[in-house]
Homo-oligomer: A and B are copies of this chain.
Amino acid sequence: MRIPILKLKDYLLVSIQVELDDQTVLTFQEDLLDKIKATSAKGVVIDLTSVDMVDSFIAKVLGDVIVMTSLMGTKSVVTGIQPAVAITLIELGITLDNVHTALDLEQGISILSQLLEV
C-alpha cells in the first residue's frame, strides 16, 4: 500500500488517509525522499487530518522523515495533528521540536511559502 504524493508547483503534498502500518510508513519515507530528489521540490506538507492514532514506531518514522527532508534541503510542515495524536506524541516523549505545524493543508502551504520566502 502506497501513500500518494502530489506535486503542486514547488511543493509536495501528502495527505495520509490510510491506516498506517509499519511497512506503509517505511515505504512512504522512501517514496517521499525519492520524490523530493526527482522533482526538486522546495517544500513538503504532510497532512495528518485523517490519522486518528499513531504508535511509537510510526511516530518515530514520521519524525525521522521530517529530519531527512530537512537534510535534503527541503522545508516541511506537518498539518492536522489530531488531539489524540498530539497526546500520544507527548506521552511517547516525541515533541517534534523543529517541525513546523499548522491546522490544515491550506495553512500548511501558506506557512511553507513564508518559510521559503525568507
Contacts and interface: CB of A to CB of B under 8 A. Distances in A.
B4 A106 contact: no
Interface of A: 1-9, 13, 15-18, 47, 50, 104-106, 109
A105 B7 contact: yes
How many identical subunits does the complex contain? 2
Contact of A6 (B1, B6, B9, B18): B6
Most chain-B CB neighbours within 10 Å: which of A5, A16, A17?
A17
25 contacts: A1-B1, A2-B17, A2-B18, A3-B4, A4-B4, A4-B15, A4-B16, A4-B17, A4-B18, A4-B50, A5-B17, A6-B6, A6-B13, A6-B15, A6-B47, A6-B105, A7-B104, A7-B105, A8-B8, A8-B13, A8-B105, A8-B106, A8-B109, A9-B106, A13-B13
A106 B4 CA distance: 16
A6 B1 CA distance: 18
